[in-house]
Structure 1
Amino acid sequence: MKPGEARDAGRAAGDTLRQLTRLVRGVHLAVTDTVHSALDAALGPVARPVLATSDAVATGVYAATERGLDAGARVVGLLVERNSAWVGDHLPGLHDRPGAHHMLAVGAGLRGDVFADRAPLVAPEMQVRRRGARVLLSREGIAQAYEEATPDLVVFLHGLFETEAAWGLGRGQRLPYSRRLSADLGLTPVFVRYNTGLRISRNGRSLAALLDDLVRGWPVPVRRLVLVGHSMGGLVIHSALATAAPEDAWVQHVSDTITLGTPHHGAPAARGVHRAAQGLSERRRGEWLSEVLQLRSVGIRDLAHGNIADADWDGHDPEDLTDRRTHPPVPDGIRHHAVVAIVGPRLPEPLRQLVGDLLVPVDSARHASTEAVTTRFADDRIAVVSGLTHLGLLNDDVTYGHIRRWLTPD
């Protein structure tokens, strides 16, 4: 762990411990509130001073514990930072350690917006990854990382709580899409890691800038650029296209986009968490859980309806669940494809459409036309795969068959 990362890891740990203490406090007070109600009913006014004192003491203890854990974690971070400085800056970074990035990905999904402000080295900027390390997007850095670069690129963007390692799911049973596309169609795979707790529109702008640097610094002239996104990654791709100018160098090379289980019209789970937080806030014994749910990142909040533009959320009450999407257009001349998974092939039709891949309903994954917007996907560019879950879309033989068919030159 590098010195600066140790300091920011201490800050992030302190923030997390503080929130966990509040969670424990909330559970404690909810339980004692039930007990207090029973005692008040049984003993009447005699018990109330004792109960009030008990609550005051518990609140004070938890407040002190919260501050102590936060401060302790920060001190540990500073001590590790000082020790790392003595050893030197040649140590592997936190994000380059095997396994560590999985834990960081979950933390970024939950609180990545907060970490980006308070502990930016724990949730770094969007980056290209290869062989477990970050690729510097200079001509020298790209050439060193991609010694066998071809003119045709396929860029992979993961989903919420994931890193680029998600694309290797099931590699013990079958080759990942990247290896197959390289062997079958000569596409050079490029993997992107990003902070999934940030606004999708913010990540979209970052992706546009990253792709511009990538194309300009690619070792050979770029002929074709394919963008593949799983879940949230598909929204980031469409956000980048909506943000970019048609004359941008990278946009002119994009031939196809492929979204796998992307919630173009949002995810019921994200809306359910929102409604639960609002409902629980109105109940004394549920306030603690409402506070926890309110801590979810803005990236998760964007998934309620599939926001991809600043105008979809900027200036609006974050607790208002109204769909305010502006549906910005994307550049013409690009073929857009979508893979939709249905977990239960034998489910009755209405239920099949609603359940989808367990996280994203069918109409959302296929960006079905509504009164407000026309779908981006022609019927022959939508593939429905049965018997597959949301994560199963990351590496599946049938899904790959559709991807290869769409990307094979005529």
Structure 2
Amino acid sequence: MPSPLQLRGTSRLATEAITGVIDLVEAMHAQIARVPLTAPRERTTGITGLVYRSVRGMTRLVGGGLDLALDALAPLLGQVDADQASAAQAALNGVLGDYLEATANPLATPMSLRPLVEGATGEPLVFLHGLCMNEAQWRRDGADFPAALAALGYRPLGLRYNTGRPVWRNGAELAELLDDVPGPLTLLGHSMGGLVARSAIAQAGGRSWPRRLRRLVTLGTPHLGAPLERGGQQVQQLLALSAYSRPFAALAARRSAGIRDLAHGSLLEADAGRASRLPLPDGVACYAVAATTAREPAGPPARWLGDGLVPVASALGQHREATRRLAFTDTAVFAGLGHLALQTDAAVLRQLQAWLARR
């Protein structure tokens, strides 16, 4: 059942979303109604402005009352499926996670490590999920990667984190968290999770765990960026060209910092808005898996299509400039797979088992 804090956070977010839409509509109204050649404005005036201010005020008043009502009603609410609630919160964090954190909204997901296989012992194997996901996504559609890899003698640990935060911020917090995980380490990241793992390694400084890191494995990670998000940035710039569509540019800009970092594969705070040039860590066996929705793993169709979100070259770190290529120990490309199927496909699991069985 959602906690009272989560319910209050939901009501606050709903209130803020409604007022945001009101702001957007008023901005469009102001642009359309303004006299030509006058300065652009985001607020209407006179009676029209009074109407918008009144609607805004009533929305905030109702929202505040809803906060109090939910506190009182929370004990009376029926049982809610915890897995569905957790998945919805993970998706919300991916889209608005930086905003939730900045406004101290209780729906912001704190970073934590959770055991994925009860009773498993051995070397820690940290699973890092991707955007809008949580650690439960490693077990779905009949697949169970944690259990299969625990059979090799690993202790699977699932990282849960707010994927809407900047990658570098999650990386810095993970670098601190891994200090408390003893023994030889293996990091397995899907999509954004691979970027967070590399960011943590880069920001570990004088910590001890990088010396214990044995393997780094990434699945469909946009090491060289994701063109789909770069397209989103171009749409935002085009919307800003017209006074009438400019209010929508503000809405497009609401994409979380985590999503924007996927555009170029940014790993550090100084890399915001551009590609990182960090090499893979020395002395660590590094593996990368890419997928393509094409029928064959090689050739132009495979390169163009990628897994639907991440091109093959990006997932394998194959940059045109030799100095920016990532020197993976080994790589694999799977045909006929989409981005999310990398966490459930039997052939991908067999490849992981082959790599991780090597001590």
Band of TM-score, shorter chain: 0.7 to 0.9
Matches within 5 A, 1:138-149: 148-149=119-120
Answer yes or no: is the 8 Å Cα contact 1:12–1:119 preserved in 2.
no
Take 2:221 and 2:72, find their aligned partners in 1: how far apart are those partners?
A: 43
Take 1:340 and 1:390, find their aligned partners in 2: how far apart are those partners?
A: 9
Structure 1 match to 2:195: 235
Matches within 5 A, 1:234-383: 234-245=194-205, 248-313=207-272, 323=274, 325-329=275-279, 331-345=281-295, 349-371=299-321, 373-378=323-328, 381-383=330-332
Residue aligned with 1:210, SS: helix
Structure 2 match to 1:154: 125
Answer yes or no: is the 8 Å Cα contact 2:280–2:327 preserved in 1.
no
* 2:169 aligned residue (188, 202, 205): 202
Answer yes or no: is the 8 Å Cα contact 1:106–1:161 preserved in 2.
yes
Take 2:65 and 2:322, find their aligned partners in 1: how far apart are those partners?
A: 52
Over 3 Å counting, the alpha-carbon distance change for 1:398 and 1:62 in structure 2 is farther
Q: Answer with 16-25 or 104-113: which moved more.
A: 16-25
1:164 aligns with 2:143: no
Take 2:240 and 2:105, find their aligned partners in 1: how far apart are those partners?
A: 31
Answer yes or no: is the 8 Å Cα contact 2:236–2:252 preserved in 1.
yes
Answer yes or no: is the 8 Å Cα contact 2:91–2:133 preserved in 1.
yes
1:394 aligns with 2:353: no
Which residue identity is paired with 2:19? R
Answer yes or no: is the 8 Å Cα contact 2:5–2:106 preserved in 1.
yes
Over 3 Å counting, the alpha-carbon distance change for 1:149 and 1:166 in structure 2 is closer
* 1:211 aligned residue (152, 158, 178): 178
Residue aligned with 1:240, SS: helix
Task: Summarize deviations over 1:256-277 as a string: whole Å, max 9, x none.
Answer: 1111111111111111111101
TM-score by length of 1: 0.76
Residue aligned with 1:269, SS: helix
Take 1:257 and 1:401, find their aligned partners in 2: how far apart are those partners?
A: 17
Instruction: Please identify the structure whose Cα radius of gyration is greater.
Output: 1
Take 2:22 and 2:347, find their aligned partners in 1: how far apart are those partners?
A: 46
Answer yes or no: is the 8 Å Cα contact 1:338–1:377 preserved in 2.
no
Structure 2 match to 1:182: 150
Which residue identity is paired with 2:148? R
The Cα shift of 1:391 comes to: 0.7
Take 1:147 and 1:5, find their aligned partners in 2: how far apart are those partners?
A: 27
Residue aligned with 1:98, SS: helix
Task: Summarize deviations over 1:61-89 as a string: whole Å, max 9, x none.
Answer: 444334433442233123323555xx59x
Instruction: Name the structure where helix makes up a greater proportion of residues.
Output: 1
Over 3 Å counting, the alpha-carbon distance change for 1:373 and 1:18 in structure 2 is farther
Residue aligned with 1:279, SS: helix
Answer yes or no: is the 8 Å Cα contact 1:201–1:310 preserved in 2.
yes
Over 3 Å counting, the alpha-carbon distance change for 1:98 and 1:401 in structure 2 is closer
Over 3 Å counting, the alpha-carbon distance change for 1:106 and 1:25 in structure 2 is farther
1:64 aligns with 2:54: yes
Which residue identity is paired with 1:151? G
Matches within 5 A, 1:109-128: 109-128=94-113
Which residue identity is paired with 1:268? P
Q: Answer with 268-277 or 11-20: which moved more.
A: 11-20
Residue aligned with 2:337, SS: coil
Structure 1 match to 2:37: none
Take 1:347 and 1:333, find their aligned partners in 2: how far apart are those partners?
A: 29
Take 1:265 and 1:93, find their aligned partners in 2: how far apart are those partners?
A: 44
Answer yes or no: is the 8 Å Cα contact 2:190–2:221 preserved in 1.
yes
1:409 aligns with 2:353: no
Q: Answer with 380-389 or 341-350: which moved more.
A: 341-350
Answer yes or no: is the 8 Å Cα contact 1:149–1:188 preserved in 2.
yes
The Cα shift of 1:400 comes to: 0.9
Structure 2, unmatched stretches of 5+, are 34-43
Take 1:57 and 1:236, find their aligned partners in 2: how far apart are those partners?
A: 50
Over 3 Å counting, the alpha-carbon distance change for 1:268 and 1:397 in structure 2 is same
> Taking every aligned residue pair, what percent have the same amino acid on both sides?
34
Which residue identity is paired with 2:67? G
Structure 2 match to 1:136: none
The Cα shift of 1:55 comes to: 9.4
Task: Summarize deviations over 1:87-144 as a string: whole Å, max 9, x none.
Answer: 59xx9999x933112222222111111110213421132112357xxxxxxxxxxxxx
Structure 2 match to 1:141: none
Take 1:346 and 1:106, find their aligned partners in 2: how far apart are those partners?
A: 32
Over 3 Å counting, the alpha-carbon distance change for 1:401 and 1:307 in structure 2 is same
RMSD over equivalenced CA pairs, Å: 3.2
Number of positions where the alignment pairs a residue of Structure 1 with one of Structure 2: 350
Answer yes or no: is the 8 Å Cα contact 1:128–1:192 preserved in 2.
yes
Residue aligned with 1:284, SS: coil
Take 1:339 and 1:273, find their aligned partners in 2: how far apart are those partners?
A: 25
Structure 1, unmatched stretches of 5+, are 37-53, 132-145, 216-221, 314-320
Take 1:329 and 1:365, find their aligned partners in 2: how far apart are those partners?
A: 14
Take 1:399 and 1:261, find their aligned partners in 2: how far apart are those partners?
A: 11
